[in-house]
C-alpha cells in the first residue's frame, strides 16, 4: 500500500480506502460483526489506514463496529464519517445540511466511534435548501472546536463545491479537502465537470461504486452463487462486463481487480482514491490484490474504448480544434502552460 496526501492538506491516507456500508446486517445484506472484523484486519494488514463510514450506515452499526475496531490504536487511522441523511424520519431537523443537524449528528458519531475527534467529516449530500454559508461556517466551527480535523463533501454538484471553497477562502474558513462521488468504468459522467473541478481546487476524489454494484465483476454474466443486489443489470453494463472479463482473462486477474485498477489509474484527471466495500474476507482480499499490478496503456485504452463518454457542452465545444483555433489562432501549440 502506498499513501497520498489528501487533497490540499498534509494528511497521509492509503491509496485505497475501506468503505464500511457493508459493516452490519441491519439492512439485510451486510457482513456480520465477526466478518466485518476480518475485513477490517485484512485491510490493515495490507497497510491501509483510511476508513470511511457514515452516521446512517446499517442504522449505526457500521460506526459502532469501526469504533470498536480502532480503539486499541486510534491515532493510526484516518477515520471519515458523514452527516446529512435523516436519522428520524418524522423529525424535519433530523436530516439535512443545516447547523442543528450537523451539531447533533457529530455528537452521535463521536460517541459511536468512541473517539474525541473525527479526522474527515463529510457533508453526505446536498439538501438543496441550506445556504452554503451556513454549512461552511458550521463545519469551520467544528474544526476550531477540535471535534473535526478536515472536511469533505459528497454527492454534490461541481458548481456548489466550487462556490463553497471560494467562500471558505474569502472568509478564512476550513475548505473542503476531498470530494466523494460515484465513478467507475461504467459511469464516467464525473469526467464532465466534477473531476476537472476537483483537479482545479486540488481536492482528493474518493470514488465509490467502482464495481457498479457488482455489475463489472462478471457475476451477472454467468450463473453464480454470489449474492446479487441488482436483479436487472443494464444491457450496456452486461456488454461492458464482457470486455472486462476478456481483458482480465488475458491479464490473469479478476474482473473486479481490473475495474478497480482502471479507476485507480485515472490520476491524470484528478487525485483519485477508490473506496473498497466488501461483504466477506474473500472479497476484500481479492480486491486488495489489485495493488499487485498496474494496467498497461493499451489495456486502459481498450477498457475506455468499451465505455466511451460524451463530455457534452461546454467541454466538447471548448475542446474542439476549430473553437480552439478561434480563441488562439495558430499559436496554441506554441504556448506552454500547466493548466492545459
Of the candidates 76, 86, 8, 9, which has an alpha carbon nearest to the alpha carbon of residue 48?
A: 76
Whole-angstrom Cα distance, residue 215 to residue 233?
A: 7
Of the candidates 318, 319, 312, 256, which has an alpha carbon nearest to the alpha carbon of residue 289?
A: 256
CATH number for the domain running over 3-306: 3.20.20.100
- Maximal C-alpha separation, the chain: 64
Cβ atoms within 10 Å of 2's Cβ, excluding its own:
8
26 confidence band (pLDDT: 50, 70, 90): very high
Non-local CB neighbours of 285 within 8 Å, separated by 6+ positions = 42
223 confidence band (pLDDT: 50, 70, 90): confident
Strand partners, 3: 14
Query: Which of 55-59, 227-231, 297-301 is predicted least confidently?
Result: 227-231
Cα 249 to Cα 75, 244, 290, distances in angstroms: 41, 8, 14
* Kind and range of the H or E run holding 177: strand 176-182
Query: Which of 22-26, 94-98, 221-225 is predicted least confidently?
Result: 221-225
DSSP state of 62: H
Grid cell of 308 as nine digits: 466511451
**What local confidence, expressed as pLDDT, does residue 233 receive?**
84
For 331, counting Cβ atoms within 10 Å of its Cβ (0-12 exposed, 13-18 middle, 19+ buried), the class is exposed
Q: How much is the average pLDDT of 123-135?
A: 97
Whole-angstrom Cα distance, residue 264 to residue 291?
A: 10
Residues 237-284 pLDDT 10s? 999 999 999 999 999 999 999 999 999 999 999 999 999 999 999 999
Cα 191 to Cα 86, 201, 263, 321, distances in angstroms: 30, 15, 12, 19
**Average of per-residue pLDDT values in the chain:** 95
Asked if the bond preceding 314 is cis, omega within 30° of 0, the reply is: yes
Residues 310-336 pLDDT 10s? 999 999 999 999 999 999 999 998 998
DSSP per position, 104-165: HHHHHHHHHHT-S-EEEEEE-S--SSS-HHHHHHHHHHHHHTTSEEEEEEES--HHHHHHHH
Give catalytic status of residue 65 as yes or no.
no
Alpha-carbon torsion, ordered 143, 204, 308, 256, to 10 deg: -100
Whole-angstrom Cα distance, residue 105 to residue 248?
A: 43
Catalytic residue among 3, 43, 57, 121: 57
Question: Using an 8 Å Cβ cutoff, are 340 and 324 in contact?
Answer: no
Non-local CB neighbours of 257 within 8 Å, separated by 6+ positions = 248, 286, 287, 289, 290
Q: Tell me the domain boundaries of the chain.
A: 3-306, 310-340
Instruction: Supply φ then ψ for residue 78, to 5 degrees.
Output: -100, 105
**What local confidence, expressed as pLDDT, does residue 230 receive?**
62
Amino acid at each position: 500500500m502506498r499513501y497520498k496526501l489528501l487533497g490540499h492538506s498534509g494528511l497521509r491516507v492509503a491509496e485505497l480506502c475501506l468503505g464500511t456500508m457493508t459493516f452490519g446486517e441491519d439492512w439485510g445484506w451486510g457482513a456480520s460483526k465477526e466478518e466485518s472484523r476480518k475485513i477490517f484486519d485484512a485491510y490493515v494488514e495490507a497497510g491501509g489506514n483510511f476508513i470511511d463510514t457514515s452516521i446512517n450506515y446499517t442504522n449505526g452499526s457500521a460506526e459502532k463496529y469501526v469504533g470498536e475496531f480502532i480503539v486499541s490504536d486510534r491515532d493510526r487511522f484516518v477515520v471519515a464519517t458523514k452527516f446529512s441523511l435523516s436519522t428520524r424520519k418524522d423529525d424535519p431537523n433530523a436530516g439535512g445540511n443545516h447547523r442543528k443537524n450537523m451539531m447533533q449528528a457529530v455528537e452521535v458519531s463521536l460517541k459511536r466511534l468512541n473517539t474525541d475527534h473525527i479526522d474527515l467529516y463529510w457533508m453526505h449530500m446536498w439538501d438543496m435548501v441550506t445556504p452554503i454559508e451556513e454549512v461552511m461556517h458550521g463545519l469551520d466551527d467544528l474544526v476550531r472546536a477540535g471535534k473535526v480535523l478536515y472536511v469533505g463533501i459528497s454527492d454534490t454538484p461541481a458548481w456548489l463545491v466550487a462556490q463553497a471553497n471560494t467562500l471558505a477562502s474569502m472568509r478564512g474558513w476550513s475548505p473542503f479537502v476531498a470530494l466523494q462521488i460515484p465513478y467507475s468504468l461504467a459511469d464516467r459522467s464525473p469526467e464532465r465537470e466534477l473531476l476537472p473541478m476537483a483537479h482545479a481546487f486540488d481536492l482528493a476524489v474518493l470514488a465509490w461504486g467502482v464495481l457498479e454494484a457488482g455489475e463489472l465483476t462478471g457475476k451477472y454474466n454467468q450463473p453464480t452463487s454470489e449474492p446479487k443486489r441488482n436483479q436487472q443489470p443494464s444491457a450496456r453494463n452486461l456488454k461492458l462486463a464482457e470486455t472486462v472479463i476478456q481483458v482480465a482473462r488475458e491479464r490473469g486477474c479478476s474482473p473486479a481487480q481490473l475495474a478497480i485498477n482502471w479507476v485507480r489509474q485515472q490520476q491524470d484527471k484528478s487525485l483519485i482514491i477508490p473506496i473498497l466495500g466488501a461483504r466477506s474476507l474473500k472479497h476484500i482480499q481479492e480486491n486488495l490484490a489489485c495493488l499487485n499490478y498496474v494496467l498497461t496503456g493499451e489495456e486502459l485504452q481498450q477498457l475506455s474504448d468499451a465505455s466511451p463518454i460524451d463530455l457534452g457542452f461546454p467541454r466538447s465545444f471548448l475542446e474542439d480544434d476549430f473553437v480552439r483555433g478561434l480563441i488562439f489562432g495558430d499559436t496554441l501549440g506554441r504556448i506552454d502552460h500547466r493548466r492545459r
